[in-house]
Amino acid sequence: MPRPSVAELRPVVHPPGVKDRRSGEHWAGRLYMRELSLRVDRHLVNTRVTPNQLTYLMTLAGVLAAPALLVPGIPGALLGVLMVQLYLLLDCVDGEIARWKKQFSLGGVYLDRVGAYLCDAAVLVGFGLRAADLFGEGRIDWLWAFLGTLAALGAILIKAETDLVGVARHQGGLPPVQEAASEPRSSGMALARKAAAALKFHRLVLCVEASFLILAAAVLDAVRDDLFFSRLAVAVLAGIALLQTLLHLVSVLASSRLK
Protein backbone atom coordinates (compact mmCIF):
# COMPACT_ATOMS: atom_id res chain seq x y z
CA MET A 1 0.00 0.00 0.00
CA PRO A 2 1.25 3.54 -0.68
CA ARG A 3 2.31 5.57 2.30
CA PRO A 4 -0.31 8.08 3.43
CA SER A 5 0.68 11.71 3.24
CA VAL A 6 1.07 13.93 6.28
CA ALA A 7 -2.16 15.68 5.25
CA GLU A 8 -3.99 12.33 5.23
CA LEU A 9 -2.53 11.27 8.56
CA ARG A 10 -3.12 14.49 10.47
CA PRO A 11 -6.94 14.44 10.93
CA VAL A 12 -6.85 10.78 12.00
CA VAL A 13 -3.86 10.71 14.34
CA HIS A 14 -4.31 14.30 15.60
CA PRO A 15 -8.06 14.51 16.20
CA PRO A 16 -9.44 17.70 17.77
CA GLY A 17 -8.35 18.08 21.39
CA VAL A 18 -5.17 15.97 21.27
CA LYS A 19 -2.82 18.95 21.36
CA ASP A 20 -5.08 20.90 23.71
CA ARG A 21 -5.26 18.37 26.53
CA ARG A 22 -4.62 20.20 29.79
CA SER A 23 -2.50 17.51 31.43
CA GLY A 24 -2.08 14.92 28.68
CA GLU A 25 0.07 16.81 26.18
CA HIS A 26 3.59 18.02 26.82
CA TRP A 27 4.56 21.49 25.61
CA ALA A 28 7.30 19.94 23.47
CA GLY A 29 4.68 17.82 21.75
CA ARG A 30 2.65 20.89 20.85
CA LEU A 31 5.72 22.89 19.87
CA TYR A 32 7.58 20.47 17.60
CA MET A 33 7.40 16.75 18.39
CA ARG A 34 3.90 16.12 17.01
CA GLU A 35 5.02 17.46 13.64
CA LEU A 36 8.10 15.25 13.67
CA SER A 37 6.10 12.20 14.75
CA LEU A 38 3.79 12.60 11.74
CA ARG A 39 6.80 12.10 9.46
CA VAL A 40 7.76 8.94 11.36
CA ASP A 41 4.17 7.64 11.26
CA ARG A 42 4.24 7.57 7.45
CA HIS A 43 6.92 4.88 7.52
CA LEU A 44 5.20 2.72 10.15
CA VAL A 45 1.46 2.69 9.43
CA ASN A 46 1.77 0.01 6.70
CA THR A 47 4.11 -2.23 8.69
CA ARG A 48 3.43 -4.93 11.29
CA VAL A 49 4.78 -2.73 14.06
CA THR A 50 2.21 -2.50 16.85
CA PRO A 51 1.56 0.41 19.22
CA ASN A 52 2.59 -1.71 22.22
CA GLN A 53 5.93 -2.58 20.59
CA LEU A 54 6.57 1.14 20.15
CA THR A 55 5.65 1.70 23.79
CA TYR A 56 8.24 -0.89 24.86
CA LEU A 57 10.85 0.92 22.75
CA MET A 58 9.74 4.22 24.28
CA THR A 59 10.27 2.86 27.79
CA LEU A 60 13.68 1.44 26.86
CA ALA A 61 14.78 4.82 25.46
CA GLY A 62 13.70 6.55 28.65
CA VAL A 63 15.49 4.08 30.91
CA LEU A 64 18.68 4.34 28.84
CA ALA A 65 18.84 8.03 29.72
CA ALA A 66 20.27 7.00 33.11
CA PRO A 67 23.42 5.22 31.84
CA ALA A 68 23.80 7.90 29.15
CA LEU A 69 24.11 10.53 31.86
CA LEU A 70 26.97 8.61 33.45
CA VAL A 71 29.20 9.53 30.51
CA PRO A 72 31.31 12.40 31.90
CA GLY A 73 31.05 15.97 30.70
CA ILE A 74 28.88 17.57 28.06
CA PRO A 75 28.75 14.44 25.82
CA GLY A 76 26.91 12.51 28.53
CA ALA A 77 24.43 15.33 29.07
CA LEU A 78 23.81 15.51 25.31
CA LEU A 79 23.26 11.75 25.19
CA GLY A 80 20.76 12.10 28.02
CA VAL A 81 18.83 14.78 26.13
CA LEU A 82 18.90 12.61 23.00
CA MET A 83 17.46 9.57 24.80
CA VAL A 84 14.72 11.65 26.40
CA GLN A 85 13.81 13.21 23.03
CA LEU A 86 13.65 9.72 21.52
CA TYR A 87 11.39 8.70 24.40
CA LEU A 88 9.14 11.69 23.73
CA LEU A 89 9.02 10.96 19.98
CA LEU A 90 8.00 7.34 20.55
CA ASP A 91 5.47 8.47 23.15
CA CYS A 92 3.78 10.48 20.39
CA VAL A 93 4.15 7.83 17.69
CA ASP A 94 2.69 4.88 19.64
CA GLY A 95 -0.62 6.64 20.24
CA GLU A 96 -0.78 7.97 16.69
CA ILE A 97 -0.20 4.51 15.21
CA ALA A 98 -2.88 3.15 17.55
CA ARG A 99 -5.37 5.73 16.22
CA TRP A 100 -4.53 5.01 12.58
CA LYS A 101 -4.68 1.21 12.98
CA LYS A 102 -7.51 1.37 15.55
CA GLN A 103 -5.48 -0.84 17.87
CA PHE A 104 -6.46 0.39 21.31
CA SER A 105 -5.99 -1.56 24.54
CA LEU A 106 -5.95 -1.02 28.28
CA GLY A 107 -2.59 -2.77 28.27
CA GLY A 108 -1.23 -0.04 26.02
CA VAL A 109 -2.49 2.68 28.35
CA TYR A 110 -0.94 0.88 31.31
CA LEU A 111 2.42 0.41 29.55
CA ASP A 112 2.47 4.07 28.57
CA ARG A 113 2.05 5.14 32.19
CA VAL A 114 4.78 2.72 33.33
CA GLY A 115 7.09 4.20 30.71
CA ALA A 116 6.41 7.72 31.95
CA TYR A 117 7.20 6.71 35.53
CA LEU A 118 10.43 4.98 34.54
CA CYS A 119 11.75 7.75 32.31
CA ASP A 120 11.27 10.47 34.93
CA ALA A 121 12.90 8.28 37.56
CA ALA A 122 15.79 7.19 35.32
CA VAL A 123 16.77 10.76 34.43
CA LEU A 124 16.83 11.90 38.05
CA VAL A 125 18.61 8.82 39.39
CA GLY A 126 21.13 9.10 36.56
CA PHE A 127 21.65 12.75 37.36
CA GLY A 128 22.29 11.95 41.01
CA LEU A 129 24.90 9.35 40.09
CA ARG A 130 26.45 11.80 37.65
CA ALA A 131 26.70 14.46 40.39
CA ALA A 132 28.21 11.83 42.72
CA ASP A 133 31.05 11.50 40.17
CA LEU A 134 30.51 7.75 39.92
CA PHE A 135 33.26 7.18 37.36
CA GLY A 136 35.52 10.03 38.41
CA GLU A 137 39.02 9.70 39.74
CA GLY A 138 38.18 10.95 43.22
CA ARG A 139 35.97 9.67 46.03
CA ILE A 140 32.34 8.97 45.15
CA ASP A 141 30.06 11.31 47.12
CA TRP A 142 26.92 9.24 47.66
CA LEU A 143 24.99 12.23 49.07
CA TRP A 144 24.23 13.39 45.54
CA ALA A 145 23.16 9.94 44.44
CA PHE A 146 20.79 9.89 47.42
CA LEU A 147 19.37 13.31 46.53
CA GLY A 148 18.88 12.25 42.91
CA THR A 149 17.04 9.13 44.04
CA LEU A 150 14.96 11.26 46.42
CA ALA A 151 14.02 13.54 43.52
CA ALA A 152 13.07 10.48 41.45
CA LEU A 153 10.89 9.16 44.26
CA GLY A 154 9.13 12.52 44.50
CA ALA A 155 8.56 12.64 40.74
CA ILE A 156 7.00 9.17 40.83
CA LEU A 157 4.83 10.00 43.83
CA ILE A 158 3.47 13.11 42.10
CA LYS A 159 2.34 10.98 39.14
CA ALA A 160 0.97 8.32 41.49
CA GLU A 161 -1.08 10.90 43.39
CA THR A 162 -2.77 11.84 40.12
CA ASP A 163 -3.28 8.27 38.89
CA LEU A 164 -4.61 7.06 42.24
CA VAL A 165 -7.50 9.52 41.98
CA GLY A 166 -8.82 7.39 39.11
CA VAL A 167 -8.24 4.21 41.12
CA ALA A 168 -10.09 5.61 44.15
CA ARG A 169 -13.03 6.80 42.05
CA HIS A 170 -13.29 3.47 40.23
CA GLN A 171 -13.25 1.50 43.46
CA GLY A 172 -15.88 3.87 44.85
CA GLY A 173 -18.13 3.33 41.84
CA LEU A 174 -17.71 6.90 40.58
CA PRO A 175 -17.19 8.00 36.95
CA PRO A 176 -13.82 9.37 35.78
CA VAL A 177 -12.97 12.77 37.21
CA GLN A 178 -14.11 15.82 35.25
CA GLU A 179 -11.78 18.74 34.55
CA ALA A 180 -13.83 21.10 36.72
CA ALA A 181 -13.43 18.79 39.70
CA SER A 182 -9.68 19.42 39.65
CA GLU A 183 -10.17 22.99 40.77
CA PRO A 184 -9.51 23.51 44.50
CA ARG A 185 -12.56 24.32 46.59
CA SER A 186 -10.88 27.07 48.63
CA SER A 187 -9.92 30.40 47.11
CA GLY A 188 -6.54 30.36 48.85
CA MET A 189 -5.63 26.96 47.42
CA ALA A 190 -6.85 28.04 43.98
CA LEU A 191 -4.59 31.10 44.11
CA ALA A 192 -1.60 29.00 45.17
CA ARG A 193 -2.26 26.57 42.36
CA LYS A 194 -2.43 29.37 39.79
CA ALA A 195 0.85 30.79 41.08
CA ALA A 196 2.54 27.39 40.82
CA ALA A 197 1.15 26.88 37.32
CA ALA A 198 2.47 30.28 36.25
CA LEU A 199 5.96 29.63 37.62
CA LYS A 200 6.00 26.02 36.37
CA PHE A 201 8.91 25.19 38.67
CA HIS A 202 7.31 21.82 39.36
CA ARG A 203 7.91 20.74 35.76
CA LEU A 204 11.67 20.66 36.36
CA VAL A 205 11.39 17.15 37.82
CA LEU A 206 9.88 15.81 34.59
CA CYS A 207 12.31 14.05 32.27
CA VAL A 208 12.25 16.53 29.36
CA GLU A 209 12.79 19.65 31.47
CA ALA A 210 15.25 17.87 33.77
CA SER A 211 17.37 16.73 30.79
CA PHE A 212 17.69 20.31 29.54
CA LEU A 213 18.62 21.47 33.04
CA ILE A 214 21.26 18.73 33.22
CA LEU A 215 22.75 19.89 29.93
CA ALA A 216 22.87 23.51 31.12
CA ALA A 217 24.58 22.40 34.36
CA ALA A 218 27.08 20.33 32.36
CA VAL A 219 28.05 23.36 30.28
CA LEU A 220 28.54 25.49 33.41
CA ASP A 221 30.50 22.66 35.07
CA ALA A 222 32.80 22.54 32.05
CA VAL A 223 33.56 26.23 32.53
CA ARG A 224 34.34 25.73 36.23
CA ASP A 225 35.97 22.32 35.71
CA ASP A 226 34.04 20.75 38.57
CA LEU A 227 30.54 19.46 39.41
CA PHE A 228 29.30 22.45 41.39
CA PHE A 229 26.34 23.31 39.16
CA SER A 230 25.27 19.69 38.70
CA ARG A 231 25.26 19.18 42.44
CA LEU A 232 23.38 22.43 43.00
CA ALA A 233 20.79 21.35 40.42
CA VAL A 234 20.37 17.92 42.04
CA ALA A 235 19.73 19.56 45.42
CA VAL A 236 17.21 21.97 43.87
CA LEU A 237 15.37 19.16 42.07
CA ALA A 238 15.18 17.09 45.25
CA GLY A 239 13.71 20.09 47.10
CA ILE A 240 11.21 20.77 44.33
CA ALA A 241 10.15 17.13 44.16
CA LEU A 242 9.55 16.86 47.91
CA LEU A 243 7.71 20.18 48.08
CA GLN A 244 5.59 19.40 45.03
CA THR A 245 4.72 15.94 46.38
CA LEU A 246 3.25 17.53 49.48
CA LEU A 247 1.55 20.42 47.66
CA HIS A 248 0.06 18.15 45.03
CA LEU A 249 -1.33 15.82 47.68
CA VAL A 250 -2.94 18.78 49.45
CA SER A 251 -4.30 20.01 46.11
CA VAL A 252 -5.95 16.65 45.41
CA LEU A 253 -7.50 16.48 48.84
CA ALA A 254 -8.69 20.09 48.64
CA SER A 255 -10.36 19.61 45.24
CA SER A 256 -13.57 17.75 44.39
CA ARG A 257 -11.75 14.92 42.65
CA LEU A 258 -12.44 12.50 45.51
CA LYS A 259 -16.04 13.59 45.99
Tens-digit pLDDT profile for residues 198-248? 446 778 999 999 999 999 999 999 999 999 999 999 999 999 999 999 999
3-state DSSP call for residue 255?
strand
Residue 247 within a domain? yes
Number of structural domains in the chain: 1
Residue 183 within a domain? yes
Nearest to 229 by CA among 241, 216, 240, 238: 216
What is the C-alpha radius of gyration for the chain, rounded to an integer number of angstroms? 20
Residue 63 within a domain? yes
3-state DSSP call for residue 22?
coil
Nearest to 37 by CA among 15, 13, 18: 13
Residue 123 within a domain? yes
Domain of 197? Answer: 6-254
Residue 46 within a domain? yes
Residue 42 within a domain? yes
Cα separation of 227 and 215, whole Å? 12
Q: Assign residue 30 the CATH number of its domain.
A: 1.20.120.1760
Residue 1 within a domain? no
CA angle, 144 as apex, 140 and 146 as ends, to 5°?
Answer: 105
Cα separation of 84 and 78, whole Å? 10
Nearest to 84 by CA among 99, 66, 106: 66
Tens-digit pLDDT profile for residues 126-144? 999 999 998 877 788 999 9
3-state DSSP call for residue 184?
strand
Query: What's the confidence (pLDDT) of residue 135?
Result: 81
Which amino acid would we find at residue 146?
A: F
Helix (H) or strand (E) holding 155: helix 142-171
Tens-digit pLDDT profile for residues 33-91? 999 999 999 999 999 999 999 999 999 999 999 999 999 999 999 999 999 999 999 99
Cα separation of 48 and 16, whole Å? 27
Residue 259 within a domain? no
